[in-house]
Amino acid sequence: MTGTADHASPNPTEQLEVRGVRKAFGDRLVLNGITLTVAPGEIVSLVGPSGSGKSTLLGILTGAVEPDAGSIRFANAPVPERHRPFAYMPQRDVLLPWRTVLDNAGIGLEVAGQSRADARRQARGLFAPFGLAGTEHLYPQQLSGGMRQRVAFLRTVVQRKPVLLLDEPFGALDAITRDELQRWLLEIWRRHAWSILLITHDIREAVRLSDRVLILPSVPGPLLGDVRVSRDIPRLDGFITDPRVPELEAALHDLLRQAAGAGRVA
């Protein structure tokens, strides 16, 4: 990654390309013909009806789920079985109650083979920039829901992978905390060079966070929509009052209704 401390630039070759992915569990077809890209430094949201296979797709990227067909490439090469370029944040924060916040934050590094001391050192460096200074020696149950999500996010990014896969990162939070964490994510994203593929059920969140919003149909088939959100739309102050936001939301709600009805739109 390159760029200044304030605004990093991603490596321009590091594009994620998913082509023709198909997955069935037994005789239940879940994904069929899924093709998408995430450009370096892009935030792409994946929305779709419940059960349309969003988490399954992230599972295929992480290697937890074996696809029946299709290819996944990153930086113009097939994604290796081990040492994938993805860091995954699951729907629930799954912080371990018997570990301190600091040791929870470093657990991904320990699982990857680093010593606890090294994991602590790397995780500790992110506490202040992530607004978590002073929580290192607390236990997860002593934190608010919003703080827990920040720790779960820190645990994900400290692995220093170029692509973050976030499964409904703010889904369990109240509206005020969600707004606060969306701002927080946008601000720290600017200082790094991550590409992000993010699942959300919240259309407003998708518009606010994303460069593009992808829509999965309920009946397995190609994506129903790939909607671009202009970077000219302010994402922090001024987002709510920008007239382009309700237009985009209306268009996405329309596509989602069609996705739930499952009919492929032209």
Ligand X SMILES: Nc1ncnc2c1ncn2[C@@H]1O[C@H](COP(=O)(O)OP(=O)(O)OP(=O)(O)O)[C@@H](O)[C@H]1O
Cα distance between residue 234 and residue 241, in whole Å = 9
Cα distance between residue 164 and residue 146, in whole Å = 19
Q: Find where tokens 């499964």 sit.
A: 167
Q: How far is the CB of 77 from ligand X (least distance, A)?
A: 26
Residues of this chain that interact with ligand X (CB under 6 A) are 25, 30, 48, 50-56
Q: How far is the CB of 257 from ligand X (least distance, A)?
A: 16
Is residue 214 within 8 A of residue 223, CB to CB? The reply is yes
**Rounded alpha-carbon distances, angstroms, from residue 241 to 213, 233, 235, 238, 246:** 20, 10, 11, 5, 9
Nearer to ligand X (CB atom), residue 30 or residue 255: 30
Find, among 158, 152, 155, the residue nearest to 192 by Cα.
158
Relative orientation angle of helices 175-190 and 145-157, to the nearest 10 degrees:
30
Q: How far is the CB of 51 from ligand X (least distance, A)?
A: 4
For residue 163, list its beta bridge partners: 86, 195
Q: How far is the CB of 216 from ligand X (least distance, A)?
A: 7
Is residue 224 within 8 A of residue 258, CB to CB? The reply is yes
Nearer to ligand X (CB atom), residue 116 or residue 264: 264
Q: How far is the CB of 250 from ligand X (least distance, A)?
A: 22
